Structure 1
Amino acid sequence: MKTNTITQTLQQENKSASRRDITNFYDEATSDYRFWSKDLNMHFGYFIFGRTNPLRRDSMGNEMNRQIYNRLQLPEGSTIVADLGCGMGGTMRNFLKKNPKLSTIGVTLSPFQVQEGNKLLKGKKGLILEENYCDTSIASKSVDGVVGIESLCHSGHSKETLREAYRIVKPGGRFVIADAFLKKEASDLCVGSSFSYRKLCKGWSLDGLGVISKVKEHLKEIGFSNVTVEDISLRVAPSVFHVPFTIFGFLLQQIFQHKKVKPQSWNNLKASFYALLSGLHLNEFGYYIITAEK
C-alpha cells in the first residue's frame, strides 16, 4: 500500500489546501450534496433539449454520467473503471446500472464517504477506498478507464494526478475529466473574477483550477494521445442556475427542522454562489470534458 498523502503532494507544489481541509469538507458536506442530488451526483449536470429535464437536477446529473461513460468507449466483456475522487459513488452506481459486466473502484480521502458509499455499493461490483488519488494502490495498467468528475480541482489538476491516471489505465484505455477550468492564468483574471475565484477555492477547499490549455499540454507530455477538449459550459449552465434556489431551499430546510447550519455547510453554500458568479465570466472560466487515450 502506498503511503504518500495529498498533503505531501500539495506541499511539493506550494499549494494551500491540505488533506485535512479536503477530508473535512467532504465529511461534513455530504448531507448538503444529498439535498442537491438524491442519487448523490456530487457534480453539475449536462442538459440536452428534449432529453433532460432542466427543472430536475438528477435528470441532468445522470446525463453527465452518461456522457462520461460514453466517452470511455469501454471494450466489450468484463471491464474495470476507476473513479478518482468518487464521492459517495454516485457515478460508480450509475455506471454499474449501464453495464452488468463492469466493475468499479473509487478513491476518496473521506472516511465517511468510504463507509457510507460502500454501504450503497453492497451487493454490487464496486468498492471505495480511502486513498489519495495522486498516489493510489491500484496496480499499473490494470483498469480499462479512469474518470475524474469535479474532483481533480482539489489538487489543482496537477501533473501528479494526471500521471497517476496514466499509470493505472491499460494501453488503449481512456481517461475522461469533467470539470471547471480557467481560460487564462489566475493572475490575469479581472478584479471581479479574481475575487469570486478566491472565495470559490476557499469554500470548496480547492487548490485551484487548472488552465485548460496547460492541462491539455500536460496530458500530452505525460504520454496521452488523442486528447480532445470540449467546452460544454452552455450544457452545464441550466444545472448551475439551480444553485441560488438550492441554497435558499437548503437553508429553509435547516430552519424548519431546527438544525444548526454547520460551518462547512456555510462554506459550501457560499462557494456554490461564487461558482455561479464565476460561471458568468465565460471569457475567463469554462466547463470542459477532456478525453485522453493511452
Structure 2
Amino acid sequence: MGTLHLNTELLHSENNTKTAELYNEATEDYEFWSRDFNMHFGYYSPLSTNPFRRDSMLNEMNRQIYDRLNAKGLLCDMGCGMGGTMKYGLTKYKDLRIMGVTLSDFQAEEGNKRLEGLNGSILKEDYNQTSFANDTFDGVMAVESFCHSGHSIDSFSEAYRILKPGAKLVVADAFLKKDFEELCIGGSYCYKGLCNGWSLEKLGNIHKVKAMLEEIGFKNITIEDISFRVATSVLHVPFAIGGFMIRKIYNAEALKPQSIKNLKGSLFALLSGVQMNNFGYYMITCTK
C-alpha cells in the first residue's frame, strides 16, 4: 500500500507540473474560445441560448452549475482557470463570495486582475490539498478540472473535507462509460490523444465515480448525462481552431508548443464526443 500511495503521489506531482505548464503558456489562447475566458464547454438550452453564439452556451453552463449549488454564501471553484465561472457568479449573484484555486501562476495573476472589484480571489494551490479549513464552504464546484487528476478519490475527498455539512458539490466534466481496457481501438486512440493534449491524468469511469462518492460519504448523489446539451458547443471546436490558426498566420505569430498541445486536445475532444458508447459528459450533484 505504501508503494502504491507513493507512486500515486508521484503521478499526481508529474501531472500537476504538466498541467501548470500547459495553462501558464496556453491560457491566453483561450480567448479565441471565449471572450469571458470560460475554459469549458457549453450547455445548450433551446429557449435561452443561441447555438451559433458560443459564449451564450458557455455562460448557460455556468448558470446551470450555480442553480444546482443553490448559490449562496462562500463558494470554492476547484480548478478555476482564469476565473470565468467565478466572474459570472460574482456578477449575477451579488451576495456571493468565491475562492478559486489553480496550479498556474499565470491564471492566478491574470485571473485576479479580471476579478478586481468583485468579492472573489484566486489562489495558486493544488485542489487535492488546499489550505482551507474543514467545513469552510457553502458550496464547491469543479468545472472540467478534476479530470486533470484523473477524477481521483483525493480530489473528491478534498471537496468533501472543505464543504460544510449539508452543502453541495457540483461537477461538470467528461467521463468514460467503461474502463479504458474495454475501449475499442478508435476510442482508445482518441482517449490517449485527449489526455496527452490536455495533460489529463485520466478520465474516471462514471459508474465507479458514483461508488467512490458513496464511499467518501456524499449523499443525494444525482448524475445527469448532459452529453446532448454539450454537443452543440463541442461542434464549435473545428471553427474555433480554424479561426485561431488564421489569426496566428495573419499576425505572423509562431504557435507555442503548449498551444499546439492544447489544439490537439481540442480536436480529440471533438472526436471523443461523437463516440457516445465510450464517452459522456455529466453533471454530478451531491451533498455532504
Note the alpha carbon deviations across 1:148-179, whole angstroms, 9 max, x for none. Answer: 00000000000000000000010110000000
Unaligned runs of 5+ in 1: 1-7
CA distance 1:256–1:42, shift in 2 (3 Å): same
For residue 110 of structure 2, what is the aligned residue in structure 1? 116
Partner of 1:85: 79
Q: 1:132 to 1:288 in 2, by over 3 A?
A: same
1:54 is the counterpart of 2:48: no
Question: Which residue is 1:240 aligned to?
Answer: 234
What are the Cα deviations for residues 104-143 of structure 1, in whole angstroms up to 9, with x where unaligned? 0000000000000001111110010000000001111011
> Structure 2: which 5+ runs fail to align?
none
TM-score (structure 1 length as normaliser): 0.94
Corresponding residue number in structure 2 for 1:43: 40
Specify whether residues 15 and 120 from structure 1 end up closer, same or farther in structure 2 by C-alpha distance, changes over 3 A only: closer
Q: Could you tell which deviates more after superposition, 255-264 or 11-20?
A: 11-20
TM-score of the pair, normalised by structure 2: 0.96
Structure 1 residues 13 and 28 mapped into 2: Cα distance closer, same or farther (>3 Å)? closer
Aligned CA RMSD, in angstroms, stands at 1.4
Q: Evaluate the alpha carbon distance shift between residue 17 and residue 55 of structure 1 in structure 2; reply closer, same or farther with a 3 A threshold.
A: farther
Partner-residue secondary structure (3-state), 1:55: coil
Query: Matched residue of 1:175: which SS?
Result: strand
Map Cα deviations across residues 188-246 of structure 1 (whole Å, 9 max, x no partner). 10000100100110010000100001111111110100000000000000000000111
SS at match of 1:18: helix
Aligned partner of 1:181 among 164, 175, 189 = 175
**Distance apart, 1:14 and its partner CA:** 4.9
For residues 51-76 of structure 1, what are the alpha-carbon distances to aligned partners after superposition, in whole Å with 9 as ceiling and x for unaligned?
1011111100000000000000245x
**Alignment-mate amino acid for residue 50 of structure 2:** N
Check whether the contact 2:15–2:149 (CA below 8 A) recurs between aligned residues: no
Number of equivalenced pairs: 284
The answer to whether the Cα contact below 8 Å between 1:227 and 1:293 also exists between their aligned partners in 2 is: yes
Equivalent residue for 1:202?
A: 196
Distance 2:33 2:99 in 1: 24
2:6 and 2:20 map into 1 onto residues whose CA distance is 15
Q: 1:1-294 residue pairs with structure 2 within 5 A?
A: 11-12=8-9, 14=11, 17-75=14-72, 79-294=73-288
- Measured after TM superposition, the shift of residue 19 of structure 1 is 2.0
Question: Is 2:127–2:158's contact at 8 Å kept on the other side of the alignment?
Answer: yes
Q: Hey, what does 1:3 align to over in structure 2?
A: none
- Give distance in 2, aligned partners of 1:102 and 1:16: 32
Q: Closer, same or farther in 2 for the Cα pair 1:11/1:37, shift >3 Å? A: same
How far 1:12 moved relative to its partner?
A: 3.1
Return the letter of the residue paired with 2:221: V
- For 1:115, the aligned partner's letter is E
Aligned residues of 1:17 and 1:205 also touching (Cα < 8 A): no
1:20 Cα deviation after fit = 1.6
Secondary structure of the 1:254 match is: helix
Q: 1:154 to 1:130 in 2, by over 3 A?
A: same
Q: What is aligned with 1:5?
A: none
Partner Cα distance (1:32, 1:46) in 2: 22
